[in-house]
Structure 1
Amino acid sequence: MEAFGRIVKMYMKTAYSAALDYVCNVEDARDLSQDAFIAVYRARKSFDVSKPFFRWFYTILRNICLNFIKSRRKLKVLSEDVLEFRSDDYETPEGYASYSERAGIIWEALFKLSPEHREIVVLRDLSGFSYKEIARMLDLPEGTAMSRLYYARNRLYELLEGFDF
């Protein structure tokens, strides 16, 4: 149990951040990241110790987040809590308002992407994972991850066409 506590401590922020990128809601992200740790604990005997832990954990977290999104069947725009959380660089009201407006537009476009395209953009552009890490997490060839990101970004640019950024 002590080892599991260390794992939770080590990955909690990463799990929360990844869940937040999926669901764009602070409370839901907190709940989903906790649900992922519970699922990991329950499935701990099925973990193959010869494989990387994070890949296994991320797959569980990802599936929990995607199931949550599917169950709600409606995509949410970034909530005010998330905008506040992400906007600590903007101290002035004008800067915050501008940031909030742009972030809302971008997140709306992001949620119009297919789940596979949204996921690859979140992993690479928001979470900063390398192509190699993404390929491992999603169990894809690295070239497929790169190609998927290329098409996802193109679609995102199409959706954002006409907006001045």
Structure 2
Amino acid sequence: MNAGKLKETHSLDQEEVLHELMDQYADELSYLAYSYVKNIETAKDLVQNTFVSAYTHLDSFEGNSNMKTWLYRITINKCKDYLKSSAYKRLVLTGAVKENADTGANPAQRFEQKEQATAIRQILEKLPVKYREVIIMMYYQDLTTKEIAEVLKIPEASVRTRLRRAKDKLTPLLQKEALGYE
């Protein structure tokens, strides 16, 4: 009986940790997932799956990295698995992959910001994944090079190299956009 109460208390602690993680990282992970799958609803589903995986494997988290990088790694793996799945390939082949519209309050006040964000997102999408992901993690999720290295399981020097190369590729694209060329 005492062991049952101990297990129940442990389960409640895990649930509290999960809720804290969801509150803290859901938006960041959703943006990360969106950068891979280009669909808001799919990204949200993948983030939910990330939290389910994190919850079921919380006991096995060894603390070799921080919780944030662990969640990023799970999310990236979920996204890559989804993109390899036959369900996704069928969607692409049938042309059913569409970007969902963002429904925000006061769209007239945010029109220019949305236009700029869309333009930047379109430019980022032109980058290869290995460059796009480091830019997003560095500038949108505020991860350090060390954290990015942990998430991607690559050396920090490789992260810095990818960032430099990504910036080199982005600069002419951003300049072209600013000048209004297509």
Which residue in the other structure is 2:5 paired with?
Answer: none
CA distance 1:50–1:140, change in 2 (3 Å): closer
Counterpart residue identity of residue 31, structure 2 = L
**Greater C-alpha radius of gyration:** 2
> Counterpart in 1 of 2:51?
37
| Conservation of the 8 A alpha-carbon contact between 2:33 and 2:47 | no
Letter in 1 for 2:112: S
SS for the counterpart of 1:34 is helix
TM, length-normalised to structure 2: 0.70
**Match for residue 101 of structure 2?**
80
Query: 2:145 touches 2:160 (CA, 8 Å); kept in 1?
Result: yes
Cα distance in structure 2, aligned partners of 1:57 and 1:77: 26
Q: Check the 8 A contact 2:33/2:75 in 1, yes or no.
A: no
Residue number among 55, 79, 96 corresponding to 1:65 in the alignment? 79
What TM-score do you get using the length of structure 1 for normalisation?
0.76
The aligned residue for residue 131 of structure 1 is 145
In structure 2, the residue corresponding to 1:129 is in which secondary structure? coil
CA RMSD between the two structures: 2.8
Shift of 1:125: 0.8
CA contact (8 A) 1:16 1:33 kept: no
Q: Deviations over 1:54-81 (max 9, x none)?
A: 333321111112333454366x786431
- The size of the alignment, in residue pairs, is 157
Secondary structure class of the residue paired with 1:161? helix
- Indicate the residue corresponding to 1:18 in structure 2: 29
State whether structure 2 residue 116 is matched by structure 1 residue 102. Answer: yes
- Structure 1 equivalent of residue 6 of structure 2: none
Query: 1: CA distance between counterparts of 2:76 and 2:30?
Result: 8
Distance 1:19 1:117 in 2: 19
Give the Cα–Cα distance (whole angstroms) in 1 for the partners of residues 150 and 63 of structure 2: 16
Change beyond 3 A, Cα 1:109–1:78 = farther
